[in-house]
Structure 1
Amino acid sequence: MILAARGLALIAYLVLIGLILVWTTWIDPPEIVPISVALVILVLPLLFPLRGMLHGRRYTHAWSSLLALAYITLGITLAAAADARIYGVLMTAASLAWFAGCLLYVKLDARRARQVTS
């Protein structure tokens, strides 16, 4: 179960990064700002937890779940706009899966650590 939670968190995290990259560069590039600026604003914060997510560190999963909340909010905001509804729904779904996977992994890994020490 703990591997499934970690897998869910990691896959959803990578899907979110991929979704933002593909959508921002190919599907619907921004018209107001350059693509590079949009990518820096949207993808750069996602790169901070990359190492800890790949290595399965509980602390990284815990604080990155808070980062997922920002992307959930952004996804809901985009889903409310008529021209970016699909992008917003996909971003919200990936962010929610990342959030849920992180929380579940933290809970299960902490339980496993308590059982090992006692």
Structure 2
Amino acid sequence: MPTSPRFYRWLTQLFYWPLIVLVALWHGMPTDAPGTLPVYIALVLWVLPLLFPLYGLVRGKAYTHAWTNFILMFYFLHGLTVVYTHPDERIWSILEIILTTGAFIGATGYARYQGRAEGLGLKKLKDYN
């Protein structure tokens, strides 16, 4: 695997932006199923969390890339659940799983290698003594 932060930043961008578009399209489609939320509420609930880290992702902040993974895991688990429970939405959920996995790998790699380059990280216990 490459150790270049630039590669992982590119990978994150390559998968994160299409994930936002996918989620907006998927949950923005009106449905006739009973008990579903109105489209505008569904869009706010599903797309808004993906918009929180945008500033840091665009600016290349290692810390933002690290905590973005917590948001991505919500969508990854959602995709896994929908693959199993809603066969008619399987293609959407498979795409969601692929995009979240790619963005997760990219964000993790970028946070790791860019954090090292910036001297960020957790201190080892032996460094405190």
- Is the Cα–Cα contact under 8 Å of residues 27 and 46 in structure 2 kept in the other structure? no
Which TM-score applies when normalising by structure 2?
0.81
Deviations 1:28-84 (A, max 9, x none): 434321111110110011111010010010111011111111110001111112111
* Mapping for residues 37-48 of structure 1, pairs under 5 Å: 37-48=41-52
Structure ranking higher in helix proportion: 1
* 1:75 counterpart letter in structure 2: G
- Which consecutive unaligned segments of at least 5 residues does structure 1 have? none
1:92 aligns with 2:69: no
* 1:19 counterpart letter in structure 2: L
What's the counterpart of residue 60 of structure 2?
56
Runs of 4+ in structure 1 deviating by more than 4 angstroms, as ranges, are: none
Which TM-score applies when normalising by structure 1?
0.88
* 1:79 counterpart letter in structure 2: V
Residue range with higher mean Cα deviation, 55-64 or 16-25: 16-25
1:29 aligns with 2:6: no
Q: Across the two proteins, how many residue pairs are aligned to each other? A: 112
What's the counterpart of residue 72 of structure 1?
76
1:102 aligns with 2:102: no
Deviation for aligned residue 1:12: 1.1
- Which consecutive unaligned segments of at least 5 residues does structure 2 have? 120-129
Percent of aligned positions that are identical? 34
Larger radius of gyration: 2
- Is the Cα–Cα contact under 8 Å of residues 13 and 94 in structure 1 kept in the other structure? yes
